[in-house]
Amino acid sequence: MHIHVGTDHAGFELKNRLVEHWRSQGHEVTDHGCYVYDRLDDYPSFCFAAAEAVVADPGSLGVVLGGSGNGEQISANKVVGVRAALVWSVETARLARQHNDANMAGLGVRQHAEQEAIEILDAFIAEPFSGDARHQKRINQIRDYEQR
Ligand SMILES: O=C[C@H](O)[C@H](O)[C@H](O)COP(=O)(O)O
């Protein structure tokens, strides 16, 4: 799996852990920043970069991190072709893939212990889309609206 990751300062340490963790599992990981810790940096540019990379790389997945994950998810969803879900438990992460075919996850680093955050994001990466017709129909409705 090719995984694109972006974060602001709030997720800097977890992002570095995830890059190492997923590479050790054999995943290809592209780090879209931030590359240095700056407590005054702004999340949108990192999220746009990760989101544009996901759209340009069909089959890949993306993860955006921040204090709450909210601004990161909002930013990622501005990029046409992105379906970013805010994931806050293993179950919501799995459902984001199973039902929504989400190609990006937003996670609030300040809302979880590190190990829990890693487990949530591992669940997101591992879960396939169910392919069920009822879910695909709804995803198509979102795609059609986005393209109008
Ligand atoms: O939705 C935005 C994210 O949670 C940001 O990571 C957060 O707003 C950053 O907060 P601060 O600038 O207070 O560290």
Ligand 1 pocket: which of 8, 47, 65, 72 to mutate (most atoms within 8 A of CB)? 8
Lookup: tokens for 83: 């379906």
- Sign, CA dihedral 146-6-53-18, equals negative
Mean pLDDT of 55-84: 98
Q: Is residue 83 annotated as involved in ligand binding?
A: no
- Reported as a single tens digit per residue, the pLDDT across 84-116 is 999 999 999 999 999 999 999 999 999 999 999
Residue 107: closest CA among 1, 2, 34, 5: 5
The answer to whether 142 and 39 are in contact (CB under 8 A) is no
Q: Is the CB of 70 under 6 A from ligand 1?
A: yes
What is the pLDDT averaged over residues 23-35? 98
Edge to edge, what strands does the sheet with 104-108 contain?
28-31, 2-7, 61-66, 104-108, 84-86
pLDDT digits (tens, 9 = 90+) for 38-65: 999 999 999 999 999 999 999 999 999 9
State whether the beta carbon of 8 lies less than 6 angstroms from ligand 1: yes
Which pLDDT score, from 0 to 100, does residue 110 have? 98
66 lines ligand 1 (CB under 6 A): yes
Helix axes 114-126, 12-24, angle to 10 degrees: 50
Q: What is the pLDDT of residue 4?
A: 99
pLDDT for 128: 98
What is residue 56's predicted lDDT score, i.e. its pLDDT?
A: 98
Structural domains present in the chain? 2-147 (3.40.1400.10)
Task: Give pLDDT, residue 85.
Answer: 98
Q: pLDDT-based confidence at 11, cuts 50/70/90? A: very high
Q: What are phi and psi of 65, to 5 degrees?
A: -120, 150
Which atom of ligand 1 is found nearest the CA of 108? 4
* Residue 148, pLDDT score: 93
